[in-house]
């Protein structure tokens, strides 16, 4: 099995790159995010590789990091997610964003990916919620505040600030993340209005 390739970029296709390794051109399929990070033809590049062997073909998938490759494998453990959908998700969301989306059960963020409908997005965040922390770190405050019931134990100004941002049209996970960041910046004694103002600045970034 091929786990890594290091060579020179030969050319690009719509969803793949041809990597020249000592005169052998490997066709490596990549997410759009990974393709954008790669250099111009003629320049050196290295990719973490996932090899999939089928009866009729051997396919190589390339990633800019081992973490991205781990997510590619993990996503395909969910029923209905094949290599094409996994690459589409990774083209929209980086590993850190995926960790946050799954930890906060943000189905809408996952559903932004081409080919991922609401039902599949819900299945992804539900099935991977216990595995996501192993692939990155998420502020536990954000995870706690993202759940409506769990957030009831938070100070009243925090609860009110999250509700206000949700009422303005933001998703609960995004509102929770913004308010959690605001609490870190302003302190736990911050008033509701201050948290809302700071939260809006966070969301605008």
Q: What is the pLDDT of residues 125-157, one digit of tens each?
A: 888 877 655 554 455 555 555 555 445 667 888
**CA–CA distances in Å: residue 87 to residues 101, 143, 155, 199:** 16, 26, 40, 32
Which residue segment(s) compose the domain that 56 sits in? Answer: 4-63
Whether residue 72 is found in the same domain as residue 33: no
How high is the pLDDT of residue 141? 59
Conformational region of residue 13, where left means phi above 0, alpha means psi within -120 to 50, and beta covers everything else? beta
Residues paired with residue 12 on neighbouring β-strands, in sequence order: 17
Among 102, 135, 168, identify where a domain stops. 135
Could you tell me how far CA 144 lies from the centroid of its own chain? 19
Whether residue 121 is found in the same domain as residue 79: yes
Whether residue 128 is found in the same domain as residue 73: yes
How high is the pLDDT of residue 29? 97
Conformational region of residue 202, where left means phi above 0, alpha means psi within -120 to 50, and beta covers everything else? alpha
pTM above threshold 0.75: no
132 CB contacts (<8 Å, ≥6 apart)?
A: 98, 99, 102, 103, 138
Whether residue 27 is found in the same domain as residue 59: yes
* CB neighbourhood size of 136 (10 A): 18
Residues 18-71: tens digit of each pLDDT: 999 999 999 999 999 999 999 999 999 999 999 999 888 899 999 998 888 988
Three-state secondary-structure class, residue 137: coil
Q: Which residue has the tokens 């000592």?
A: 22
How high is the pLDDT of residue 60? 97
Mean pLDDT over all residues of the chain? 85
Residues paired with residue 21 on neighbouring β-strands, in sequence order: 24
How high is the pLDDT of residue 149? 47
Check pLDDT > 60 for residue 162: yes
**CA–CA distances in Å: residue 72 to residues 5, 43, 158, 166, 201:** 17, 26, 36, 32, 33
How high is the pLDDT of residue 178? 81
Structural domains in the chain (count): 3
Whether residue 75 is found in the same domain as residue 119: yes
Whether residue 76 is found in the same domain as residue 120: yes
Whether residue 163 is found in the same domain as residue 198: yes
Residues paired with residue 143 on neighbouring β-strands, in sequence order: none
Q: What is the mean pLDDT of residues 106-124?
A: 91
Among 12, 29, 63, identify where a domain stops. 63
Whether residue 146 is found in the same domain as residue 184: yes
Among 113, 135, 157, identify where a domain stops. 135
* CB neighbourhood size of 153 (10 A): 10
Residue 112 is part of a domain; what is its CATH number? 1.10.150.20
């Amino acid at each position: 099995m091929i786990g890594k390739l290091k060579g020179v970029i030969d050319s690009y296709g719509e969803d793949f790159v041809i990597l020249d390794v000592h005169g052998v051109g490997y066709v490596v399929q990549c997410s759009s995010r990974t393709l954008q990070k790669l250099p111009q033809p003629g320049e050196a590049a290295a990719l973490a590789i996932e090899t999939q062997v089928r009866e009729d073909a051997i396919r190589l998938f390339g990633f800019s990091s081992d973490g991205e490759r781990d997510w590619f494998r993990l996503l395909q453990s969910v029923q209905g997610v094949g290599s094409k959908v996994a690459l589409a998700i990774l083209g929209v969301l980086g590993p850190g964003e995926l960790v946050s989306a799954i930890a906060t059960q943000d189905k809408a963020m996952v559903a932004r990916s081409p080919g991922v409908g609401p039902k599949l997005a819900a299945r992804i965040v539900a099935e991977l919620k216990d595995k996501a922390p192993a692939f990155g770190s998420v502020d536990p405050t954000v995870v706690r505040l993202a759940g409506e019931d769990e957030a009831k134990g938070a100070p009243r100004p925090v609860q009110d600030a999250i509700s206000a941002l949700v009422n303005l049209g933001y998703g609960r996970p995004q509102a929770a993340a913004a308010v959690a960041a605001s609490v870190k910046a302003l302190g736990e004694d911050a008033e509701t209005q201050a948290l809302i103002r700071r939260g809006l600045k966070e969301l605008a970034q």
